[in-house]
Amino acid sequence: MPAVPAHTAAERLAALQRLVIVSVLGFASGLPLALTGQALQAWMTADGVDIATIGFLSLVGLPYTFKFLWAPLMDRFDLPWLGRRRGWLVLTQLALAAALWALAATSPSASIRLFALLAVAVAFVSASQDVVIDAYRTDLLPADERGLGASLNVMGYRLAMIVSGGLALIWTDPAQHGAWSWPEVYRAMAMLMAGAALLSATMLPRVPMPAGRASVARHDLFGFAAVLAAVAVGYLLSARFAPPVAQALLGPWLEGSTLEPRLQQRWIDLVALLLGIGLTLPLAAWAARRARFETLLSGLAAYFSQTGAAGFLLLIVLYKLGDAFAGSLMTPFLLKSMAYSPAEVGVVNKVIGLWLTILGALAGGALMLRLRLWRALLLFGVLQAASNLGFWWLAVYGKGVLPGLTLPAFDWGFVALAQATPVDGGLLMVIAVENISGGMGTAAFVAFLMSLCNQRFTATQYALLSAFASVGRVWVGPLAGVLAESIGWPSFFVVSTLLALPALAMLAWLRRPIRALEGGG
């Protein structure tokens, strides 16, 4: 671990304690994310669900993009006994345990609608946990620890994804005599979240209440209810009117295309979804203003008072967009199109790859002590963009081009390979480059988000910023699934590389306001 930026022995010990806590909270945050993302895709792939449907089911992550709507309640109200942030944390972790247990009892192929609804419930509670963890971490860390704190948060986050993503694929691989089914994996993860709730209740230090006038409680409650009602009205209107409008817009173009009917309908569904969002979000904003949702409105006003605030939001959307686009269907690409075995994907992409992400995050945190924020964002953003071309190369040239290696059989108790497993050299190279650069970029990106937050509205503002950051991860899924089937994987990965370039242009434009953030929070 790089040197902790503190001076006296007592300060070093306190800083070390804070950074360990940040790592543990990162683990709790990362565990359910894979269970609504790549692990869920692997389960559906194994159960015979088609790729376009899997792409649309990435929308189960929608709560991650709307969590700023209920985050103000977590800023405004504190649950009794456990203090600020901790009560919400324990509640969300217990709810996650229950939701994962329910999901484990549902089959994706036999009950796809119920399965999707339960996955949305997991994502909703997971997004709520992230609201609390992000706010707690931002409140806990002083400005000079945020680079290292961000890298250690990514380390814990990725360690959790090794467990819920990589090890789970090995546990369920029949070729490795995997004794676990996917429902058993999800039940095990539910028990881990219950254990996290116990640790949160007993081990985390309290954070102080911020200074400043609290909003009127009834205004926040009424405002949140009004926003929910507006979202419900927007959903109903979208369900009724958006599909025929999308059909009218795309009908003439689709009639002359060579796309098969199933893919034509997917494009119509995608445009209908975008029309629905375009209606619902302005309606929710209008409802928040009319109902005087004070914590939300005050938090947004405090954020937008910063120089470059609107530009920062656009940069947040764009910075991980190319990375998210390339990774949105990575599991079905490797399992179905490249025909790698589940154990090989689990070992390389989920275990070795995620360890390399941790290495990249730690290296990124250390480099940020010298590079500072703007240079780190620029350098790591260039590396992220270039790494997507590795998947293009893999899709074009296939496996077996580079010499690989063979992992011997082993049994470590919690994970085992029943037989020696070949590892393709090309896959290993591409995953190594992508995960190291992605880990560096994530460390700089999290530090950037923390630097934008005001302590009075940490949950609200960080939820808003991270919701914008998750736009790529969640919203590109439907487009990615349809596009991959329409243009093929090589062209798909070229598009993902091009999508990374606008963020670099934004960084050049925002150089001065980002450098103004480097000295403090």
More confident residue, 53 or 292: 292
Strands (E), 104-226: none
Q: How confident is the model over 302-359, as pLDDT tens digits?
A: 778 877 888 888 888 888 888 877 777 777 888 878 888 777 777 776 667 767 777 8
Q: Residue 193: enclosing H or E segment and its boundaries?
A: helix 182-203
What local confidence, expressed as pLDDT, does residue 521 receive? Answer: 41
What local confidence, expressed as pLDDT, does residue 103 receive? Answer: 93
**Residue 374 buriedness (CB in 10 A; 0-12 / 13-18 / 19+):** buried
Which string of b and e fits 241-273 if b means at least 16 CB within 10 Å?
Answer: ebbeebeeebeeebeeeeeeeebbbbbbbbbbb
Which string of b and e fits 125-144 if b means at least 16 CB within 10 Å?
Answer: bbbbbbbbbbbbbbbbbeeb
Mean pLDDT of the chain: 81
What local confidence, expressed as pLDDT, does residue 1 receive? Answer: 45
Residue 129: CB partners within 8 Å, gap ≥ 6? Answer: 28, 29, 32, 89, 92, 93, 96
Whether the Cβ atoms of residue 371 and residue 379 lie closer than 8 Å to each other: yes
4-25: average pLDDT: 77
**What single-letter DSSP state applies at residue 381?**
H
Instruction: Please determine, for residue 75, whether its predicted confidence score (pLDDT) is greater than 80.
Output: no
Q: How confident is the model over 402-445, as pLDDT tens digits?
A: 887 787 876 666 566 677 778 888 888 888 888 888 888 888 88
What local confidence, expressed as pLDDT, does residue 300 receive? Answer: 78
Q: Which single residue is written with the structure tokens 């689990």?
A: 346
* Angle at CA of residue 514, ends 510 and 515, nearest 5°: 120
Q: What percent of the chain has pLDDT over 90?
A: 11
> 3-class DSSP state for residue 40?
helix
Q: Residue 295: enclosing H or E segment and its boundaries?
A: helix 294-304
Rounded Cα–Cα distance for residues 476 and 253 (Å): 22
At residue 93 the predicted structure's pLDDT band, cuts being 50, 70 and 90, is: very high
Is the whole model's pTM more than 0.85, yes or no?
A: no
Instruction: Please determine, for residue 100, whether its predicted confidence score (pLDDT) is greater than 90.
Output: yes
More confident residue, 68 or 133: 133
Q: How confident is the model over 190-229, as pLDDT tens digits?
A: 999 999 999 888 888 777 666 554 556 677 788 888 888 9
More confident residue, 395 or 174: 395
What local confidence, expressed as pLDDT, does residue 4 receive? Answer: 47
What local confidence, expressed as pLDDT, does residue 416 receive? Answer: 64
What local confidence, expressed as pLDDT, does residue 414 receive? Answer: 57
What local confidence, expressed as pLDDT, does residue 472 receive? Answer: 63
Q: Residue 446 is encoded by which pair of tokens?
A: 């999290």
At residue 11 the predicted structure's pLDDT band, cuts being 50, 70 and 90, is: confident
Instruction: Please determine, for residue 246, whether its predicted confidence score (pLDDT) is greater than 80.
Output: yes
- Lowest-pLDDT range, 127-141, 276-290, 337-351? 337-351
Inter-CA distances, 91 with 202, 326, 473, Å: 13, 34, 26
Strands (E), 158-253: none
Beta bridge partner(s), residue 508: none
Q: How confident is the model over 356-384, as pLDDT tens digits?
A: 777 887 788 778 778 888 998 999 999 98
Instruction: Please determine, for residue 95, whether its predicted confidence score (pLDDT) is greater than 90.
Output: yes
428: nearest Cα among 461, 397, 394: 394
39-56: average pLDDT: 79
What local confidence, expressed as pLDDT, does residue 212 receive? Answer: 55
What local confidence, expressed as pLDDT, does residue 471 receive? Answer: 66
What local confidence, expressed as pLDDT, does residue 478 receive? Answer: 66
Alpha-carbon dihedral sign for residues 73, 465, 474, 275: positive
